Amino acid sequence: MPDQRVNPLSQQDTHCSAPPSGDPRIPAFCRSVWNFLSKDFSITAVISQIYYYADAHTTHTTYPDGLEVLHFSNGQIEKHYPDGKKEITFPDQTVKNLFLDGSEENIFPDGTIVRVQLDGSKIIEFDNGQRELHTSQFKRREYPDGTVKTVYNDGHQETKYASGRVRIKDKDGSVVMDTK
């Protein structure tokens, strides 16, 4: 494949010419700017390497410590850390963290946090203090007052109250045991 680079706009260490769009993302202290026939451009800066994908309107910045940051045109931002962790911030400000071991954590704007474990189970923490655990066998909600309600896959429910009371319902919702 032929080299698509054209002459750099600047080879100065203290100044870079902005591309025709006047993109404000170009850092003040550049070493070089390369324009490509595809209208992409690459900037080698003192503290980072920036590549702009014109067709996708996406900026990819690589820092000396290995951090890579991608800014997409829809407002999504992805950070790829050297240790393998990825952090994705969506336009609605939801943040998804993907960890090297395969687990993930989602933080929603309302304060809800969902953690997905390797076995597929989920832990959901709500900003009101309630917590849910979803497994392949049951779903359990824990309330701040100590009450715990569990719904099993077969449909039966068990509620343990902070007072010590236990109520069990069958899959049809009929009470089969209640220790009032």
In tens, the pLDDT along 10-30 reads 333 333 444 444 555 544 455
Q: Reduce the DSSP state of residue 103 to 3 states and report it.
A: coil
Q: Where are the domains of the chain?
A: 10-91
Cα–Cα distance for residue pair 52/19, rounded to 1 Å: 11
Residue 151 CA: distances (Å) to CA of 78, 115, 130, 160: 37, 20, 16, 12
Cβ atoms < 10 Å from Cβ of 81 = 14
Which phi and psi (to 5°) does residue 56 adopt? -95, -5
Q: What is the tens place of the pLDDT at every residue in 71-87?
A: 999 999 999 999 999 99
What pLDDT is recorded for position 12?
Answer: 32
Minimal CA–CA distance to 53: which of 75, 67, 71, 27? 71
> What are 45-67's pLDDT values in tens digits?
667 788 888 888 888 988 888 99
Q: Would you say the pTM of this structure is higher than 0.85?
A: no
Residue 109: other Cβ atoms inside 10 A: 10
CA neighbours closer than 13 Å in the CB half-sphere of residue 41: 22
pLDDT grade, residue 131 (50/70/90)? very high
Residue type, 50: I
